[in-house]
Amino acid sequence: MRTEPMRPRPRRAQNAAATYRTGSWAWLLHRITGLLILVYLYFHLIVLSSAIWAGGMTSFNRTVASLTTPPFIFADLALFALIFYHALNGIRLIFLDLGWWVDRQQTVFWGMMTIAALLWISTAIVMLPLAFR
Partner 1 sequence: MAESTVTFRVFRYNPVTDEKPYWALYPVTVEPGDPVLMGLMRIREEQDGSLAFRASCRSGICGSDAMVIAGRSRLACKTQILHVLNAQREVVVEPLRNLSYVKDLVVDQTPFWEKFYQVDPWLHEDPLSKPPTTERLMQLPESEFDDISKASDCIFCQICYSECPVNGMDRAFLGPQALIKAFRFEADPRDHGTPDRARTLNNQEGVWKCRTTFNCTLSCPKGIPITKGIQALKREMLTVGLGRGGGV
Partner 2 sequence: MRQRQYGTTGGAWPWLLQRVSAVFLLVLILLHLWIEHFMHLGAPITFASVKARLVHAVFAVIDYGLLIVVVFHGLNGLRTVLLEIPFLPHRSRAITIGLWVLGVVTVIFGMDILAPFLWGRPWFVLK
Site for partner 1 in 95-114 (CB under 8 A): 96-97, 99, 102-103, 105-106
107 binds, among partner 2, partner 1, none (CB under 5 to 8 A by kind): none
Q: What is the DSSP string of 84-114?
A: HHHHHHHHHHHHHHHTTTGGGHHHHHHHHHH
Given its phi and psi angles, is residue 3 left (phi above 0), alpha (psi -120 to 50 degrees) or beta? beta
Q: Using CB under 8 A, which of 27, 53, 72, 110 touches partner 1? A: 27
Q: Could you tell me if 109 and 25 are in contact, meaning their C-beta atoms sit under 8 angstroms apart?
A: no
Rounded to an integer, what distance in angstroms lies between the CA atom of residue 89 and that of residue 111? 10
72 binds, among partner 1, partner 2, none (CB under 5 to 8 A by kind): none
Instruction: Please compute Rg for the chain using Cα positions.
Output: 21
Q: Using CB under 8 A, which of 9, 125, 126, 133 touches partner 1? A: 9
Q: Using CB under 8 A, which of 91, 113, 124, 128 touches partner 2? A: 91
Q: Provide the binding-site residues for partner 1, judged by CB under 8 A.
A: 1-6, 8-9, 11-14, 16, 18-24, 26-27, 93, 96-97, 99, 102-103, 105-106
